[in-house]
């Protein structure tokens, strides 16, 4: 069964198509890289998937139902989006405690996830004082709160330094070993090549390729394949 | 229930909410205390026809203890519009994608928090008023149930204004705009309407708030006579209806929109 299904999802802003008839399934238990140039429609697709944006047409499901219909969604899906999502005046821990309370998650779990993303030392610091990388870690901690089987990550490597990126790689591998489904968007193609099982590529809102990593690369690097498929210079 | 706990945590953790409480206490205390020198007898004669040697005069001093009501509305506005201002709406609606549930939880918590704010600031007003009255020779005692009545009025008004504020903040998601629109309406538009249509004044928000707080104002020269206003509970009912209409409209308009 597919963990995530996009069913002819279309999102228009005015007359412009941000996502155009996206139809694809993401397999359970795999890490899927969601790739595409700037403005291709990755973030928009993901925001529709988790119910923050309403599609113009089509739909999407997680474990067979729309996100809005999930019972206690955080226990099934963890999400990191590219937008800001934490109150700058609250500490990292307070931000997570607000979310935990809404999802009926024990406060002890907040300390656990902060530990997991190595943010325990900054737990009581205000988020306004966090670096970009620390905010990314906090976002990841938030996504892990409900110990979900599915993770949706929009550019989680954004703002991480080389050490942070290496850390994220091991971190994702560990999560995936537990059989989780991970849908991750990124521009770090070399990094993706080392991480993902499957690949989706969209361009100008349209799906241009989907399959296993080796199907897509055909012996080239992921970057070469990406440039070929999206019409960039090779 | 889970959402109530979460919303309550937001109220407590966000520092600007405590700032609003301080503001309400300040306005209420100062507003009550300064009434004493204003009403204090000037060379034996009573000003504004009110004397602090009479119970009604002292009652009108303590009535200013409800002056913090504007902060109750702002608190309600911030509880919703703050989510959009700080981007926490993303996390809130990811956790609870059925948006109306969040609105209901916020309405309840806003009513509770705004009532608490009004009660605390009213008590501060009583204390300030009592202290100021110590400077007046043979000031009268307030009427028997005054404090109890004012506390009840504060709690009711706080709850109702919290609901209205939250509804406004849901309708107008831009925080600054929501506050400015509210202040301009209450302090400019409403008084203008009041001057133009004195008979309808009792159904306008300011008239309803005045009536709900059970304030007696008789200033014929300004065309205000609160004796014509609605009884407090009816006024509160009308205000709640305003809040419900705003919140209802918001749920089908601004709250339906995409969240970035
Ligand atoms: N709220 C919005 N209003 C209008 N247009 C939007 C909005 N959000 C996105 N768009 C447009 O939709 C298109 C897709 O944007 P989206 O953010 O989904 O791309 P992306 O693939 O995530 O890009 P990036 O790699 O830069 O993050 C872009 O043309 C963008 O300008
Ligand atoms: Mg994006």
Looking at all shown ligands, the one closest to residue B259's CA atom is: 1
pLDDT band (50, 70, 90) for residue B43: low
Render pLDDT for B192-239 as a digit per residue (tens, 0 to 9): 887 888 777 788 877 787 787 766 655 554 555 666 778 888 888 888
Say what the pLDDT of residue A203 is.
95
Residues with Cβ within 8 Å of residue B130, at least 6 apart in sequence: none
pLDDT band (50, 70, 90) for residue A91: very high
pLDDT above 90 (res A107) = yes
pLDDT above 60 (res A97) = yes
pLDDT band (50, 70, 90) for residue B7: very high
Given a contact cutoff of 8 angstroms between Cβ atoms, the answer to whether A180 and A143 are in contact is no
Partner-chain contact A103 B95, CB within 8 Å: yes
The predicted model gives A125-133 an average pLDDT of 94
The predicted model gives B171-199 an average pLDDT of 88
Radius of gyration of chain B (CA): 20
pLDDT above 80 (res B42) = no
Q: Whose CA is nearest to atom 17 of ligand 1?
A: A43
pLDDT band (50, 70, 90) for residue B111: very high
Closest listed residue to residue B156, CA positions, set B215, B213, B82, B107: B213
Partner-chain contact A85 B96, CB within 8 Å: no
Given a contact cutoff of 8 angstroms between Cβ atoms, the answer to whether B69 and B115 are in contact is no
Say what the pLDDT of residue B226 is.
64
The predicted model gives A136-147 an average pLDDT of 94
Partner-chain contact A103 B2, CB within 8 Å: yes
Render pLDDT for A190-219 as a digit per residue (tens, 0 to 9): 889 988 999 999 999 999 999 999 999 888
A144 in helix, strand or coil? helix
Cα–Cα distance for residue pair A209/A230, rounded to 1 Å: 9
Report yes or no: A78 at the B interface, CB cutoff 8 Å.
no
What is the distance of C-alpha A208 from the center of its chain?
A: 20
Given a contact cutoff of 8 angstroms between Cβ atoms, the answer to whether B111 and B159 are in contact is yes
Say what the pLDDT of residue A189 is.
92
Report yes or no: A173 at the B interface, CB cutoff 8 Å.
no
Say what the pLDDT of residue B234 is.
86
Cα end-to-end distance, chain A, whole Å: 36
Report yes or no: A52 at the B interface, CB cutoff 8 Å.
yes
Residues of A in contact with B259 (CB under 8 A): 52-53
Report yes or no: B252 at the A interface, CB cutoff 8 Å.
no
pLDDT band (50, 70, 90) for residue A37: very high
What is the atom index within ligand 1 of the atom nearest the CA of A19?
14
Say what the pLDDT of residue A178 is.
83
Residues with Cβ within 8 Å of residue B28, at least 6 apart in sequence: B64, B65, B66, B67, B68, B121, B122, B124, B125, B128
* Residue found by looking up tokens 């707080």 in the block: B213
Query: A201 pairs with which residues across the strands?
Result: A35, A209
Output the six-digit token pair for B22.
Answer: 């301080």
**Residue B18 Cα, ligand 2 centroid: separation in angstroms?**
36
Say what the pLDDT of residue B238 is.
86
Q: Whose CA is nearest to atom 13 of ligand 1?
A: A18
Say what the pLDDT of residue A83 is.
67
Give the percent of chain B with pLDDT over 90. Answer: 43
Output the six-digit token pair for A16.
Answer: 């412009």
Cα–Cα distance for residue pair B179/B168, rounded to 1 Å: 9
Report yes or no: A174 at the B interface, CB cutoff 8 Å.
no
Residues with Cβ within 8 Å of residue B12, at least 6 apart in sequence: none
Say what the pLDDT of residue B227 is.
67
Of residues A109 and B198, more confidently modeled:
A109
pLDDT band (50, 70, 90) for residue A79: very high
**Residue A13 Cα, ligand 1 centroid: separation in angstroms?**
9
Say what the pLDDT of residue A49 is.
97
* Residue found by looking up tokens 């009213």 in the block: B122
pLDDT above 70 (res A60) = yes
- Domain boundary assignment for chain B: 2-256
B158 in helix, strand or coil? helix
Q: Whose CA is nearest to atom 4 of ligand 1?
A: A13
Residues with CB under 6 A from ligand 1: A 13, 18, 36, 38-44, 82; B 260
A130 in helix, strand or coil? coil
What ipTM score was computed for the predicted complex, to two decimals? 0.93
Q: What is the nearest CA distance from B105 to chain A, expressed in angstroms?
A: 10
pLDDT band (50, 70, 90) for residue A134: very high
Partner A, chain B 189-218, Cβ-Cβ below 8 Å:
none
pTM: 0.90
Ramachandran angles phi, psi of B143, nearest 5°? -65, 160
Closest listed residue to residue A119, CA positions, set A105, A145, A140: A140
Residue B146: count of CB within 10 angstroms of its CB: 17
pLDDT band (50, 70, 90) for residue B46: low
Average the pLDDT over each of B27-41, B112-126, B192-206 and give the range with the smallest value.
Answer: B192-206
Render pLDDT for B60-93 as a digit per residue (tens, 0 to 9): 888 888 888 899 999 999 999 999 999 999 999 9
Say what the pLDDT of residue B223 is.
52
Strand A31-35 to strand A198-203: parallel, antiparallel, or no bridges (unpaired)?
parallel
């Amino acid at each position: 069964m597919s963990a995530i299904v996009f069913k002819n999802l279309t999102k228009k802003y005015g007359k412009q198509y941000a996502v155009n008839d996206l139809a694809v399934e993401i397999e359970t238990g795999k890490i899927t890289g969601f790739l595409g140039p700037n403005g291709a429609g990755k973030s928009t697709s993901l925001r529709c998937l988790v119910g923050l944006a309403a599609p113009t047409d089509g739909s999407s499901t997680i474990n067979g139902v729309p996100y809005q219909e999930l019972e206690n969604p955080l226990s099934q899906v963890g999400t990191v989006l590219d937008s800001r999502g934490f109150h700058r005046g609250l500490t990292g821990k307070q931000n997570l405690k607000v979310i935990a309370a809404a999802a009926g998650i024990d406060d002890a779990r907040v300390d656990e996830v902060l530990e997991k993303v190595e943010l325990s030392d900054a737990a009581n610091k205000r988020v306004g004082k966090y670096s970009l990388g620390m905010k990314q870690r906090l976002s990841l901690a938030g996504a892990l709160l409900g110990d979900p089987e599915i993770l949706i990550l929009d550019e989680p490597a954004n703002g991480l330094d080389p050490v942070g990126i290496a850390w994220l790689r091991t971190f994702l591998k560990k999560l995936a070993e537990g059989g989780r489904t991970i849908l991750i968007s990124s521009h770090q193609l070399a990094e993706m090549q080392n991480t993902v099982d499957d690949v989706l590529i969209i361009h100008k809102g349209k799906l241009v390729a989907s399959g296993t990593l080796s199907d897509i690369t055909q012996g080239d690097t992921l970057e070469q394949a990406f440039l070929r498929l999206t019409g960039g210079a090779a | 229930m889970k959402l109530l706990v979460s919303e309550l945590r937001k109220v407590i953790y966000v520092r600007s909410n405590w700032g609003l409480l301080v503001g309400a206490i300040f306005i209420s205390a100062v507003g009550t205390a300064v009434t004493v020198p204003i009403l204090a007898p000037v060379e034996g004669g009573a000003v504004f026809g009110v004397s602090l040697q009479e119970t009604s005069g002292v009652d009108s001093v303590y009535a200013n203890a409800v002056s913090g009501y504007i902060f109750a509305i702002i608190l309600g506005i911030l509880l919703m519009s703050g989510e959009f201002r700080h981007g926490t709406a993303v996390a809130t609606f990811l956790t609870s994608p059925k948006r109306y549930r969040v609105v209901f939880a916020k309405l309840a918590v806003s009513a509770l928090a705004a009532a608490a704010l009004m009660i605390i600031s009213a008590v501060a007003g009583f204390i300030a008023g009592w202290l100021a009255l110590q400077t007046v020779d043979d000031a009268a005692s307030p009427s028997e149930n005054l404090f109890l009545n004012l506390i009840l009025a504060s709690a009711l008004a706080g709850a109702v204004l919290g609901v209205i504020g939250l509804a406004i903040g849901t309708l107008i998601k831009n925080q600054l705009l929501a506050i400015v629109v509210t202040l301009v309406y209450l302090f400019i538009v409403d008084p203008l309407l009041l001057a133009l249509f004195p008979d309808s004044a009792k159904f306008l928000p300011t008239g309803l708030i005045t009536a709900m707080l059970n304030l007696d104002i008789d200033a014929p020269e300004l065309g205000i006579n609160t004796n014509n206003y609605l009884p407090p509970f009816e006024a509160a009912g009308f205000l709640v209806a305003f809040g419900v209409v705003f919140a209802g409209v918001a749920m089908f308009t601004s709250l339906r929109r995409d969240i970035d």
